[in-house]
Structure 1
Amino acid sequence: MKEREKQILEFIIENRRVKLDQLVKQFDISKRTLYYDIQSINYYIKSAGEIKNINHEFSFIGDYSKLHSTIKIQESKFLNIEYRKNYILYKILNGEKLTIDKLADEMILSRNTIVQTMDEIKKDLKDIQLALAYKRKYEIVGNEYKIRELYLLLMQDDEFLLRNISEEVSNFDEYCSMGLTDYSLGNLTRFAEFICRRINENCTLTTYKYKNDSKKFNYYPFVKYLLPPKVNEDEISYLSAYISTLSSLNSKVDEDLISNYIDKLIQKFEAKTAITLDSKEEFKSNMKRHLLSAYNRIKFKFPISNPSLEEIKFKHESLYKIIKSIIENEKDFPDFIGIREEEIGFIAAYFGGYLRGERDSGARRNKVLVVCPNGLMVSKTLEIQLYKYIPTIDIAGVLSLKELSETNIYYDYIISTVEIPDKENVIVVNPLLTKLDIQLLMSKLINFNYNDLNFDLELIMQVIKKHTKIIDEKRLKDELLKIMYKFEEKEIYQPMLKELVTADRIRKVKRVDNWKEAVKLAAKPLLDDGSIETIYIDNMIESIIEHGPYIVLADRFALPHASSKNGVNKLSMSLLVVEEEVDLLGKPVNIFMVLAATDNNSHIKALASLSEMLYDTSNIDILITGNEESILELINKQD
């Protein structure tokens, strides 16, 4: 809690009941700033009670003894080393003059603890090719783009972004008819101030990659007024690109372009996984909402925090690999070249949550109510952030506490900035979502976790580091994840590619008469061992005739498959290699990999391995030119 907030809280408690005008005069602040302070105080003390505004008089309603202990507990947040590191880094980047003693006093920690924290910060910075230097004050030195990316990530946890929206930013928003939300105005104010400080310190960008794209924004000519005089075009272009990533009432993104990308993503996903998505329009609508907010961020390479990335890559490893292989295809998704892992993680988690929800609950999405006692402005800010991070969310309503007690709207969860004791399934979050908030929401709302327990892996790692020496940190994390997120027994087993494509299911021939004969011959081992019925082969052929050569996934490679509803007895795969090219409705094919799936999940791991194998084009040549033994050897190498 900031010093002024502490003083406001103490003043209200001492005086029992304080008029709004009295508080404004006492602390020499605007009414708007006061409401932001009260909002922050209430989040801080939510477990003990809250400051209520009754007839323009503020008073504390709640348990005073619990309030005292709550404040004491909150003061110990600096015991978390990750919080401590980020707090110090943010102060350094904001130009504050820090000393070890000053930090120790502020955090109520020993000097030795602060020294150790600074050492950890140096290690973290080194990992991203930056360094901590001391030149009359602490500074972070290195690549300017990386420094700004670090600031943006740290800024996402700034609780006070809504406090000080600058006049310049407000005027820019109004003059250019941007329609930026308060959340966006706060972000732009803070980041523009940071850029100005960097420029004034002679830390200026040059050769900005997206200069020409940025100049196309109609607000570009006015961005220079947010920056120092005589600033170069690269800086103006960089800030213009950043502004395009902010939530706005006036969309800066071509919705048709996004729709086309989503159609392509779904088409490629269905072809690569042999899964037909049900409720496709709902799926597209949710994904469109996410990509509309993420598109410019992805295109212009601005960072975003995805605190669940490691867990996503572990829990949805195969799905993540498939999504990655699809979206990194430069020909199909040219605007997504160089897409960050964090962005892929959000998309993969959504697909994973969708498929799991489809299996467990008929593909129904979670409906939520957003409830905030501090007015619609805060509720709207929260709503924007929820859509940014959780594409699958279905917000059924945005209500005040009073409206909640009177509503009949059906919901699965309430997302609120305060505790609501008489309601079930309430998820309490910060008004500005923290990394832990996002992690919690992902676990609840897109079925990310497979059990009801939530773990903070980084916190556990810090405890281990404190008491022992770690030899292999990555391997330890992987092992901990296996324990922490152990699959429930009911989870469907996913066999590997080499378990399905065995020696007796691989055939190589010189030539075939046509593609239909190739499909029949490729499927024969599965027919012979009872994995499929003849009707399944007929269905594969009919599907290709109806939909065209959609099964051709890579150069000279096809994955024949059909719906699992008829003629599939068990999950199985088989492989036919034809030395002479086969014309499959205009596509030359040498390799036919037949898939007979029994559901939408159990074959994903095998297809992820297949995608990785096909990513290396030299493997296609090995399949075509090698004998059955070398083909089997290649498949057995895949994880």
Structure 2
Amino acid sequence: MKNRQYKIFQSILQNNGLSLQELMDNYDVSKRTIYYDINEINYEIKEYGKIENLNRKFIYLGDERIYAKYKIKSDISSDVEYRHRYIIEKIFTDTFSTIDEISEDLLVSKGTIFNDIKEIKDYLHLENIDLVFNKKYQLKADELIIRDAYINYMYLDQDLISYVDPRILEVNRRADLHLTDYSISLLSKFVIFTDNRIKSGNKLKETSLYDDAKNFYYYNILENVMDYDDEDELKYLAAFVASMTKLKSDKLNSNIKKFVNELIHNFEKYAAVVIQNKDDFSKDITRHLSSSYYRLKFKFPIYNGSLKEIKKDYSYLMDLVKISVKNTNSAVFSEMRESEIGFLAMYFGARVESFSKRENRVVIVCPNGRVISKMLESQLYNYLPTINIVGVVSIHELDEMSAQFDYIISTIPLEKYNNVILVKPVLTPHNISILYEKLLNINSVIDEDSINQIIDIVKDYAEIKDEEKLKKALLEMLIYKNEAIRKADNKIMLSQVLDENRIRKIKKVSDWKEAINIGSEILLKEASIEKSYVEDMIESIEKVGPYVVISDGIAMPHAKYKYNVSKVDISILIIEEAVDMEGKDIDTFIILANLDNNDHIQMLSVLTDILNDKKSMEILKTADYKKVNKMIKGYED
């Protein structure tokens, strides 16, 4: 590459694109010369990507390793997440050379690389993997744990599309698996990794979990193409392939539908809510689980880019979904990973918490071709299962779209359009976080116009060194403050509601109806409910049966809100001699007064944690207010 061409290439990469006029002015050359140089550059870099003229800007589209290849300084080299992924890939694939070479590749100091490795070591330790150095960096852990960790890292690999193993293509063709391009890339990258692990003597030990994979129709094809001499490895790979497919059977569909019905029933019971449009909701979850059944059955991990935010902002919802899943009778689904629980929590949240006031419709715009577009679509459905994608189009097709949309998700800047969410072809954690906030309307209380007005005021009285950084800092501060206020306003704490008068213990009652009446006395006295609400609770149980029994010996009577509840409230009645409720022996009655806005859900998440802990239940059944209150606050902290 000639010196001028290198400088043009460097400036395009460092500025995230430049217009033809800018290039002509910067290098004092003609339009014809610029186009000639771009063609020469593209020929030189064809293994990595190409420069294209999009929206009147020359933009590089392709593999990010090009920065290291041509020693071009960029934001990537200063991106901690990128460096960590780069180093982790080297360590996991046993291709880590020397600190000097890695620092040269990433264009940072050796001290920075040493710090990165220390942080990676600490992070891996949290995943029960030890990173040790003995002539070279090595991973010490159970082989399945190491492979699970690598699967998670694969989902963030920006170079994923470059992996196409001919063996996977052959299996896909001969077995007619209809694998997506995204799945082919994931599987290709993974078999290259496992090949390396096997050659290094790092084989699997306990593989009985994957025994059923031997029955898949493509097992013999896989055995023939992969030429593995280890049955354990072959079973494991066959199971992983299944996790990428949409294999279906009547039995499988029946199992999923049964689980979904149990799940919804449990959630309604524990959260004391009624899911609206239950049939449609059931179909949505069934569709999601159908595509992930074998991933769950064989316990393969899935990266959930929204998990951190869900756990932070909606921990109570996670708890309720988790307990609802756990108390199903499904061998496959009842032991879900936390990342999978997070996806389900998004479904339930969209129904009961109004994550989104309306469904956001998105269109995907990707100039890199159909493969990248489909990869992006697959990831979006993985990370945001409730997303509504109305089209996958090229830039030229965008103007002609007839379908209405709210956001454009694009891999390149689209300056003439509003509501564009810019992402990488393989979504980064930052991309996923932004999508989560935008599409689920989390943290959307501050508008940018308000920030600009503040900036204008500041300019009148002070010098601004970096306007963009100041804008970002103000935006983050105000979002955080408003989010804290919102949470404080909505959060109903069990310890605040359950005072000394709302927990009682008595010897016995004549029947369960008397128990509900006695338990409701304090709520009536405090005018939290009207007498008709008590009658509704009793009538519901008489009609439907003991649906309010949420665990052995524990009932949570409640009724549908009919303007006969003035505020969320709760009382607990413990009976020494259990009473029969429609065939169930009950000694603990939790009377719940709930409005129609689901404000009680956070309170119930703490309560379900208590009900599922034996020692906590022993404390609750003493009805000793001081002990009970201390125990509850322990859960709320």
Report whether the alignment pairs 1:402 with 2:396. yes
Q: Which residue of 2 aligns with 1:385?
A: 379
What is the TM-score when the length of structure 1 is the normalising length? Answer: 0.81
- Counterpart selection for 2:412 from 413, 418, 426: 418
- Counterpart selection for 1:523 from 512, 520, 533: 520
Q: Which residue of 1 aligns with 2:231?
A: 233
**C-alpha distance 42-355 of structure 1, shift in aligned 2 (>3 A):** farther
Q: Which amino acid aligns with 2:115?
A: Q
Q: Which residue of 2 aligns with 1:192?
A: 191
Q: Which residue of 2 aligns with 1:55?
A: none
| CA displacement at 1:250 relative to structure 2 | 7.0
Give the percent of matched residue pairs that are identical in Structure 1 and Structure 2.
Answer: 35
| CA displacement at 1:281 relative to structure 2 | 3.7
Q: Which residue of 2 aligns with 1:50?
A: 59
| CA displacement at 1:22 relative to structure 2 | 9.8
| CA displacement at 1:494 relative to structure 2 | 2.0
Count how many residue pairs are aligned between Structure 1 and Structure 2.
Answer: 579
Q: Which amino acid aligns with 1:397?
A: G
- Counterpart selection for 1:316 from 301, 314, 317: 314
| CA displacement at 1:485 relative to structure 2 | 6.6
**C-alpha distance 100-322 of structure 1, shift in aligned 2 (>3 A):** same
Corresponding residue SS for 1:422? coil
1:281-320 mapped onto 2 (5 Å cutoff): 281-320=279-318
Corresponding residue SS for 2:203? coil
**C-alpha distance 417-234 of structure 1, shift in aligned 2 (>3 A):** same
Q: Which residue of 2 aligns with 1:347?
A: 344
| CA displacement at 1:526 relative to structure 2 | 0.8
Q: Which residue of 2 aligns with 1:435?
A: 429
Cα pair 1:522 1:575 within 8 Å, conserved: yes
* Alpha-carbon distance in 2 for matches of 1:555, 1:271: 13
Cα pair 1:275 1:600 within 8 Å, conserved: no
| CA displacement at 1:606 relative to structure 2 | 1.5
| CA displacement at 1:488 relative to structure 2 | 5.6
Q: Which residue of 1 aligns with 2:88?
A: 89
| CA displacement at 1:637 relative to structure 2 | 5.3
Deviation track 1:80-109 (CA, whole Å, cap 9, x = no partner) reads: 333212211102222324111111211121
- Counterpart selection for 1:597 from 587, 594, 599: 594
**C-alpha distance 356-20 of structure 1, shift in aligned 2 (>3 A):** same
Cα pair 1:192 1:227 within 8 Å, conserved: no
| CA displacement at 1:422 relative to structure 2 | 2.3
| CA displacement at 1:620 relative to structure 2 | 3.7
Residue ranges of structure 2 left out of the alignment (5+ in a row): 13-19, 24-31, 62-66, 449-475
* Alpha-carbon distance in 2 for matches of 1:482, 1:425: 21
Cα pair 1:357 1:447 within 8 Å, conserved: no
**C-alpha distance 452-165 of structure 1, shift in aligned 2 (>3 A):** farther
Report whether the alignment pairs 1:262 with 2:274. no
What is the TM-score when the length of structure 2 is the normalising length? Answer: 0.81
Report whether the alignment pairs 1:487 with 2:483. yes
* Alpha-carbon distance in 1 for matches of 2:504, 2:220: 64
Cα pair 1:305 1:435 within 8 Å, conserved: no
Cα pair 2:175 2:218 within 8 Å, conserved: yes
**C-alpha distance 415-248 of structure 1, shift in aligned 2 (>3 A):** farther
Cα pair 1:161 1:187 within 8 Å, conserved: yes
Q: Which amino acid aligns with 1:568?
A: V
Corresponding residue SS for 1:398? strand
Residue ranges of structure 1 left out of the alignment (5+ in a row): 53-67, 455-479
Deviation track 1:415-444 (CA, whole Å, cap 9, x = no partner) reads: 222222222211121222222222221222
Report whether the alignment pairs 1:37 with 2:46. no
* Alpha-carbon distance in 1 for matches of 2:250, 2:8: 40
Report whether the alignment pairs 1:104 with 2:98. no
Deviation track 1:141-180 (CA, whole Å, cap 9, x = no partner) reads: 3321122122212211222322241221111001111110
| CA displacement at 1:533 relative to structure 2 | 0.7
Cα pair 1:181 1:249 within 8 Å, conserved: no
| CA displacement at 1:23 relative to structure 2 | 9.7
Deviation track 1:312-342 (CA, whole Å, cap 9, x = no partner) reads: 212112112222222233x534213543222
* Alpha-carbon distance in 2 for matches of 1:241, 1:8: 48
Cα pair 2:505 2:623 within 8 Å, conserved: no
Corresponding residue SS for 1:526? helix
Report whether the alignment pairs 1:532 with 2:529. yes
Corresponding residue SS for 2:389? strand
* Alpha-carbon distance in 1 for matches of 2:610, 2:593: 19
Q: Which amino acid aligns with 1:487?
A: E
